[in-house]
Amino acid sequence: MLVPRELGFLERADVDFEVWPEAMALGRRFAQEGYELALVGGPVRDMLLHRRSHDLDFCSSARPEQFEPILRHWGRDGFWDMGRKFGTLGAMRRRDDGTLVKVEVTTYRSDVYDPSSRKPEVNYGHSLEGDLSRRDFTVNSMALCVPDLRFVDPFGGAADLAKGVLRTPVDPRQSFEDDPLRMMRAIRFVAQLGFTIAPDTAVAISDMKDRITIVSAERVRDELTKMLLTDRPRAGIESLVDSGLADIVLPEIPALRLQIDEHHRHKDIFEHTMTVLERAIALETDDEGPVPGPDLTLRLAALLHDIGKPRTRRFEPGGKVSFHHHDAVGAKMTRKRMRALHFDHHLIDDVSFLVDMHLRFHGYVDEPWTDSAVRRYVKDSGPLYERLNRLTRADATTQNRRKAMMFSTAMDELEQRVRDLREKEDLAAIRPDLDGTEIIAILGIEPGPLVGKAYRHMLDYRLDHGPVDHDAAVGELNRWWSEQTEG
């Protein structure tokens, strides 16, 4: 039998139906030239899980210069060789249905690692089994040789896949010594696949967590991003914290586990954050909605929205606990951490803004806003309006049903008022009724700081009163100017 029946995989007569036709065709070309070719890693794992991938990874007995002509001929829609020094070439072709299939082929490798770096000294290997031994986890150390469909599983990856266990094919300490990023990958697979980490592997991660410091910020960021975009990011975050890796790569999150005093005067902030993350994800929309999921901006904001609380916690008279200005403090901390992880500047700005604004709506619950305040809320939130509302809703985790109902009703009311105002005016593009050129002409002044000051006043007037006709706007500008000149 070629593959484990306990995983529900098809028997040989049906395997060709399951296996990508591109893999079979490429395997036949390699075999004709006398070379071995095997599908490896994630595509094999996903095949056993009945999941499809359009990015196929292969390894081969052939050297790059030997299989390059085959790959160039196959890849009628693209070819690349950026990984040539690592023995990797890639190509892609489009199916008749328009689907783009990408493949990468790598020569069997037997790498040697420098302890001070995760970059290996690339050495070509001589066997498929040897190549599989250098991979991160047993569930990624399986191969399917094509075109003969011989299943190769020297480290029991299929059994681990069936049990949902992450285990390294060699001693975990050696594996993480060679490439510390594998520790982050383990956390990501917890979230992505719903797996648990084998006890010896988990101990090795905790003991060797400091090794992650030799990994570039970009690589750590990419793993965090992939984890957050899975269906179960909470499991990944909890595993990241439990392993101790979060203390190094995202220390603001384990810091949320504040000691709760015997009177439980404030809720567990870490647990609250995990709940907010899950609630925010549940509020994402489909592709046609305003916040299509998975949305990295919203998920990061949900994860980081309360990181300012540990720094701002104060025990007040009467047994109360306060976290004054934790939104502003948290926004600064968010910006600093995301910069350290080399996130995109626009994403940093958006997430920091959401953290800073996540309490803005709470005043509406106590006293409904004027139309002016509603306009300002929409104007200030700009393109992040829908995400801000979802973060605000997700953050309302009170167990008091009356308070929860009041909050939800108030948010519903605000959103309806915004819809009503939008029918009358474009809230997202509010501008003063007079532009800079008109202000200069009416006041008879030269371009400079005074024009900017007048413009800001007219914008405030527009937000307070809504659109007015030209004469009313001119009258307001002249009134304001008189006050300035009299002063």
Residue (of 244, 251, 130) closest to 197 by Cα position: 244
Same domain, yes or no, for 293 and 283? yes
Same domain, yes or no, for 46 and 146? yes
Same domain, yes or no, for 261 and 226? no
Which DSSP state fits 60?
A: E
- Residue finishing a domain among 384, 406, 429: 429
Q: Where are the alpha helices (DSSP H) in 198-308?
A: 199-207, 217-228, 233-243, 246-249, 269-282, 296-304
* Lookup: tokens for 446: 């030269």
Q: What is the CATH number of the domain that holds 286?
A: 1.10.3210
* pLDDT score of 78: 93
Give CA–CA dist 222/186, Å, rounded. Answer: 13
* pLDDT score of 262: 44
Same domain, yes or no, for 158 and 17? yes
Same domain, yes or no, for 197 and 297? no
Same domain, yes or no, for 464 and 443? yes
* pLDDT score of 447: 85
Same domain, yes or no, for 53 and 36? yes
Q: Is 10 in contact with 165 (CB distance < 8 Å)? A: no
pLDDT tens string for the chain (487 positions)? Answer: 334 443 444 333 344 335 688 889 999 999 999 999 999 998 999 888 888 777 899 999 999 999 999 999 998 899 999 999 889 999 999 988 888 889 999 999 875 555 665 565 667 888 999 999 989 999 999 999 999 999 999 999 999 999 999 999 999 999 999 999 999 999 999 999 999 999 999 999 999 999 999 999 999 999 999 999 999 999 999 999 999 999 999 999 999 997 554 444 456 899 999 999 999 999 999 999 999 999 999 999 999 999 999 999 988 887 788 899 999 999 999 999 999 999 999 999 999 999 999 998 887 777 788 888 888 888 889 899 999 999 999 999 888 899 889 899 999 999 998 888 887 776 666 677 777 788 788 888 888 888 778 777 777 777 777 777 887 877 877 787 888 877 5
Geometric angle at alpha carbon 134, from 6 and 189, rounded to 5° = 55
Same domain, yes or no, for 452 and 410? no
Give CA–CA dist 239/221, Å, rounded. Answer: 16
134-to-45, 92, 140 alpha-carbon distances in Å: 16, 26, 10
**Domain span at 474:** 436-486
3-state secondary structure of 210: helix
* pLDDT score of 387: 97
Geometric angle at alpha carbon 58, from 52 and 62, rounded to 5° = 160
- Residue finishing a domain among 398, 429, 460: 429
* pLDDT score of 330: 97
- Residue finishing a domain among 250, 270, 288: 250
Q: Is 136 in contact with 177 (CB distance < 8 Å)? A: no
Same domain, yes or no, for 277 and 243? no
Type of residue at 460: D
What angle in degrees, to the nearest 10, is found between the helix axes of 296-304 and 326-340?
A: 120
Q: How many domains does the chain have?
A: 4
Residue (of 355, 376, 368) closest to 409 by Cα position: 368
Beta bridge pairs of residue 197: 166
* pLDDT score of 147: 93
Q: What is the CATH number of the domain that holds 203?
A: 1.10.110.30
3-state secondary structure of 333: helix
Give CA–CA dist 473/416, Å, rounded. Answer: 28
Same domain, yes or no, for 196 and 218? yes
Q: What is the CATH number of the domain that holds 7?
A: 3.30.460.10
Same domain, yes or no, for 61 and 109? yes
* Lookup: tokens for 206: 């905790």
Same domain, yes or no, for 64 and 134? yes
* pLDDT score of 116: 60
373-to-165, 254, 322, 363, 466 alpha-carbon distances in Å: 53, 36, 26, 11, 11
Give CA–CA dist 139/124, Å, rounded. Answer: 23
